[in-house]
C-alpha cells in the first residue's frame, strides 16, 4: 500500500516536471521542472530495486547534468526579449499532441505486452557487487568506449565553448 | 499489494511523449534540450523496468551506460547553446539554420 502511495507521488513528480518544462516560459521554471523530473525518475529506480542506478542517477544526472544546465542558464543570463517569440504556442502544442498521442498509445501497448507481474528478486539485485561483476564480465568494451566518448565530449565542449575561435581571426 | 509494470510503462511513455511534444512544439533551444533529456530518462526508466521484469541486470547495465551518454550529450549541447547565444543573442532554434547553410557560427 505504501509502495503505491510512493509510486503515485513520484509519478506525479515526473509529470509535473515534464509539464513545467513543456509549458514554462522562464528558464528558472524549466530548471526546477528538470530537477523535479530527474529526482522522481531516480525515486522510481529505487522502487524498482535498482539501488546502483538510483545512486548513479542522483550523482550524475541530478548532481552533474543539472548543475551544468544551471551554469549554462546563468552564463547566458537570458533577458525576456531574447526568448524566441512563440505566438501560436498553444496551437502547435495541440497539433503536436494529436500527432503524438497514437504513437505513445502504440508504445504503451507494445511495452505492456511483455509481462504483467514483477517476479521476486534477491536482495542483491541491482546492487554494486552484482552489477560490478556484470559490468566487468560482459560490459568491458562498451565501458571503455564510453570513457573515450566522455573524453571526446569534454574536449569538444571546451573547444566549442571557447570565447574566441582561432578561425575567427583568420577569416 | 505492489505496483505492476504497466504503471511504470505508463509513466515512461507519458514522459517520452512530453519530450517529443517539447521538441516538436517549442522553439526555445533550452526547452528542446531539456525535452531530449526527458526522453533519454524515459528510455532509462523503461530499461530499468525491463531489467526488473526479467529479472536480468543487463538492462541496468545499459541504463548506466546511457547515464554516461546523457552526461556527454549535455556537455556538448550546452556548449553549443552558450556559443549560439553569445553570437546571436537569441535562444531561437532558427539560429541553427545558419549551421546548415555552411555559414560559420
Q: Which pLDDT band holds residue A120 (cuts at 50, 70, 90)?
A: confident
Domain that holds residue A50: 1-84
Distance between CA atoms of A34 and B21, rounded to whole angstroms? 15
A46 within a domain of the structure (yes/no):
yes
Which residues 6+ apart lie within 8 Å of A171 measured at CB?
Answer: B104
Last residue of a domain, one of A84, A114, A132: A84
Per-residue pLDDT, A149: 95
Distance CA B80, CA B87 (A): 11
Task: Evaluate whether residue A119 is within a structural domain.
Answer: no
Same domain? A3 vs A79: yes
Note whether A114 and B53 are within 8 A (CB): yes
Distance CA A149, CA A140 (A): 14
- Of the partner residues A89, A139, A149, the one whose CB lies closest to the CB of residue B72: A149
- pLDDT at residue B1, as a whole number: 64
pLDDT per residue over A125-147, tens digit each? 888 999 999 999 998 999 999 99
- Contact across the interface for B61 and A131, Cβ inside 8 Å: yes
Q: Quick count: other Cβ atoms within 10 Å of Cβ A35?
A: 17
**Distance of residue A10 Cα from the nearest chain B Cα, in angstroms:** 10
Q: Is A100–B57 a contact, with Cβ atoms under 8 angstroms apart?
A: no
**If you write DSSP's letter for every residue of A23-43 in order, what string do you get?**
H--SHHHHHHHHHHHHHHHHH
Residue of A nearest to B87 (CA): A163
Higher pLDDT, A163 or B15: B15
Q: Given this model, what pLDDT does residue B103 score?
A: 66
List the single residue in B with minimal CA-CA distance to A147.
Answer: B68
Report pLDDT digits (tens) over A71-119.
Answer: 988 888 777 777 777 788 888 899 999 999 999 999 999 999 987 888 8
Out of A82, A104, A115, name the one closest to residue B16 (CB).
A104
How confident is the model at residue B76, as a pLDDT?
93
A57, A84, A111: which is the final residue of a domain? A84
Q: Which residues of chain B, if any, have pLDDT below 50?
A: none
- Do A10 and A62 belong together in one domain? yes
Question: What's the sign of the alpha-carbon dihedral A78, A84, A85, A90?
Answer: negative
The CATH number that applies at residue A66 is: 1.20.120.1200
Number of domains chain A contains: 2
Residue B55 preceded by cis peptide, ω within 30: yes
* Poorest-pLDDT segment among A120-124, A146-150, B44-48: A120-124
Is A13's pLDDT higher than 90?
yes
User: How many CB atoms lie under 10 A from the CB of residue A60?
Assistant: 18
Domains of chain B are 5-100 (1.10.287.3510)
Instruction: Pick the closest to residue B8 from A139, A111, A148, A90 (CA basis).
Output: A111
Measure CA of the first residue to CA of the last residue in chain A; give whole Å. 67
Shared domain for A4 and A69, answered yes or no, is yes
Regarding whether A138 and A70 lie in a shared domain, the answer is: no
Q: Is residue A75 part of a domain?
A: yes
Mutate one of A4, A14, A119 to test the B interface: name it (highest B CB count within 10 A).
A14
**Residues in A touching B36 (Cβ below 8 Å):** none
Residues A10 and A67 in one domain: yes
Task: Report ipTM (2 d.p.).
Answer: 0.90
- Name the residue with higher pLDDT: A63 or A86: A63
Number of inter-chain CB pairs under 8 A, A vs B: 251
Q: pLDDT at position B84, please?
A: 84
Amino acid at each position: 500500500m505504501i509502495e503505491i502511495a510512493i509510486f503515485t507521488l513520484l509519478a506525479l513528480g515526473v509529470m509535473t516536471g515534464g509539464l513545467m518544462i513543456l509549458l514554462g516560459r522562464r528558464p528558472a521554471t524549466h530548471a526546477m521542472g528538470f530537477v523535479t523530473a530527474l529526482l522522481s525518475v531516480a525515486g522510481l529506480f529505487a522502487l524498482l530495486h535498482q539501488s546502483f542506478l538510483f545512486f548513479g542517477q542522483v550523482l550524475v544526472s541530478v548532481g552533474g547534468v543539472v548543475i551544468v544546465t544551471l551554469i549554462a542558464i546563468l552564463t547566458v543570463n537570458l533577458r525576456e526579449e531574447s526568448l524566441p517569440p512563440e505566438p501560436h504556442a498553444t496551437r502547435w502544442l495541440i497539433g503536436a499532441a494529436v500527432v503524438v498521442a497514437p504513437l505513445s498509445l502504440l508504445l504503451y501497448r507494445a511495452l505492456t505486452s511483455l509481462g504483467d507481474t514483477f517476479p521476486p528478486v534477491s536482495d542483491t539485485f541491482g546492487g554494486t557487487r552484482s552489477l560490478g561483476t556484470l559490468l566487468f564480465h560482459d560490459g568491458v568494451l562498451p565501458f571503455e568506449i564510453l570513457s573515450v566518448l566522455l573524453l571526446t565530449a569534454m574536449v569538444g565542449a571546451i573547444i566549442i565553448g571557447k570565447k574566441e575561435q582561432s578561425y575567427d581571426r583568420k577569416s | 499489494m505492489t505496483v505492476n509494470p504497466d504503471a511504470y510503462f505508463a509513466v515512461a511513455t507519458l514522459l517520452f511523449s512530453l519530450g517529443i511534444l517539447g521538441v516538436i512544439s517549442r522553439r526555445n533551444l533550452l526547452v528542446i534540450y531539456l525535452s531530449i533529456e526527458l526522453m533519454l530518462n524515459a528510455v532509462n526508466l523503461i530499461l530499468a523496468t525491463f531489467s526488473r521484469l526479467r529479472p536480468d541486470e543487463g538492462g541496468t547495465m545499459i541504463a548506466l551506460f546511457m547515464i554516461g551518454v546523457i552526461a556527454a550529450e549535455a556537455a556538448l549541447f550546452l556548449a553549443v547553446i552558450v556559443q549560439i547565444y553569445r553570437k546571436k543573442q537569441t535562444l531561437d532554434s532558427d539560429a541553427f539554420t545558419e549551421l546548415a547553410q555552411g555559414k560559420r557560427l
